[in-house]
Amino acid sequence: MEQHPIVKLKLDVIFKRVFGDANNEDIIAAMISALLEIPREDIRKIEIQNVELPPEEMEGKFSRLDLKLNVDGQTVNVEMQINYEPDFRERTLFYWSKMYGSDLRAGQAYGDLKQTYCVNIINFNIFDCEDYHSDFVVMEKNRHEILSDKLGIHFFELKKIDNVRKNQAMEDWLHLINAETEEELMAIQQTTTIPEVKKTIVMLRHLSADEKVRQEAYYREKRMHDEDNAIIGSRREGFQAGLAEGEARGLVKGRAEGRAEGRAEGRAEGRAEGRAEGEARVKQTLIEKWRAKGMTDEEIRELLGEK
């Protein structure tokens, strides 16, 4: 059956149109309720504090959207990240720390600091587990006593949402965010019981029918693919640089020995060392990208010819 494409909700510019619009407070509240497992009736007010994608970010290398929300006095940062980023764990911890301390004013007590949550919806695998949802807190290592309830960092790995079934509302939203075809939207619409999910599906269809929006999504996705290819190209350049550097080191070493035999051995050693170093870089890059695409270690070993 032919798969009809739609504008992807996980694409930052589309995510922004839906979840960055104050008119869609009911949709935002329903998604936050499902992802953070907060009763919907407990969310009384949502205030969008920032939603803009600066022009230089739209054109530049970043492929993420930060959405900062005030949810009944709690700070919630929602980030949609499509491309793999190797230091993503450290970055989200840095973001959390900046947000946590930013609202404390002179004269206020530390106890006035707000509960602060980072919600990371990512289109790649980051943890070695089957579960699509990882919920981090600060906890004593042996007693498992939580230091404070004011920190929460959540990761939702879209490539794992079919691995387990544990929370239907959470999975309905994640499947919707991950959908790429009209057929997928229809399947979600037929099974979900969440009115806001159905409302978001209608919005996505309207956006997909808008030629201007489709063009915006197309060019945004193209820039992201170009960025991905540029990273691979730089890794290849690193491979070649490693070969040349290793060979040069070998030549210097051979000359220092002052013998023809030493020079020959130095060249061979340098080439081998440089080749090994470059090959290791490229291999690691490929492994990281394949893992991010959801491939298993067994599949990766087979591709590398290591089985």
**Read out DSSP for 222-283?**
HHHHHHHHHHHHHHHHHHHHHHHHHHHHHHHHHHHHTSHHHHHHHHHHHHHHHHHHHHHHHH
Q: How far apart are CA 126 and CA 160, in angstroms?
A: 11
Boundary of a domain, candidates 168, 189, 209: 209
Q: How far apart are CA 71 and CA 92, in angstroms?
A: 19
Q: How far apart are the first and last CA of the chain?
A: 35
Of 32-46, 48-62, 76-90, least confident by mean pLDDT is 48-62
Alpha helices in the chain (DSSP H): 12-19, 25-36, 55-59, 88-102, 168-178, 182-191, 195-208, 211-257, 260-292, 297-303
Q: Band of the pLDDT at 260, cuts 50, 70, 90? A: low
Q: Which two tokens stand for residue 177?
A: 């965010």
Q: How far apart are CA 185 and CA 165, in angstroms?
A: 19
Who contacts 286 (Cβ-Cβ below 8 Å, separation ≥6)? 303, 304
Q: For 192-234, what is each residue's pLDDT tens digit?
A: 999 999 999 999 999 999 999 999 989 888 887 776 565 555 5
Is 29 in the same domain as 163?
A: yes
Residue 2 burial class via C-beta count within 10 angstroms: exposed 0-12, middle 13-18, buried 19 and up: exposed
Would you say residue 60 has pLDDT above 50?
A: no
Would residue 137 count as lying in a domain? yes
Is 71 in the same domain as 141?
A: yes
Would residue 215 count as lying in a domain? no
pLDDT of residue 65: 59
Would residue 99 count as lying in a domain? yes
Q: For 152-192, what is each residue's pLDDT tens digit?
A: 999 999 999 999 898 999 999 999 999 999 999 999 999 99
Q: Which two tokens stand for residue 300?
A: 């990766």
β-pairing, 116-122 with 133-136?
Answer: unpaired
Of 46-55, 139-148, 179-188, least confident by mean pLDDT is 46-55
Would residue 194 count as lying in a domain? yes
Question: Could you tell me which of 125, 83, 122 has the C-alpha nearest to residue 228?
Answer: 83
Question: Could you tell me which of 71, 85, 46 has the C-alpha nearest to residue 152?
Answer: 71
Q: What is the CA radius of gyration of the chain?
A: 24
Is 43 in the same domain as 131?
A: yes
The predicted model gives 262-269 an average pLDDT of: 57
Q: Which two tokens stand for residue 239?
A: 């491979």
Of 5-19, 107-121, 235-249, least confident by mean pLDDT is 235-249
The number of folded domains in the chain is 2
pLDDT of residue 61: 43
Would residue 6 count as lying in a domain? no
Is 273 in the same domain as 146?
A: no
Q: Which two tokens stand for residue 140?
A: 């004593």
Would residue 41 count as lying in a domain? yes
**Residue span of the structural domain in which 58 resides:** 12-209
Would residue 3 count as lying in a domain? no
Boundary of a domain, candidates 157, 179, 209: 209
Q: Are 170 and 34 in contact (CB under 8 A)?
A: yes
Is 85 in the same domain as 200?
A: yes
pLDDT of residue 248: 63
Boundary of a domain, candidates 178, 209, 240: 209
Is 67 in the same domain as 166?
A: yes
Q: How far apart are CA 160 and CA 128, in angstroms?
A: 11
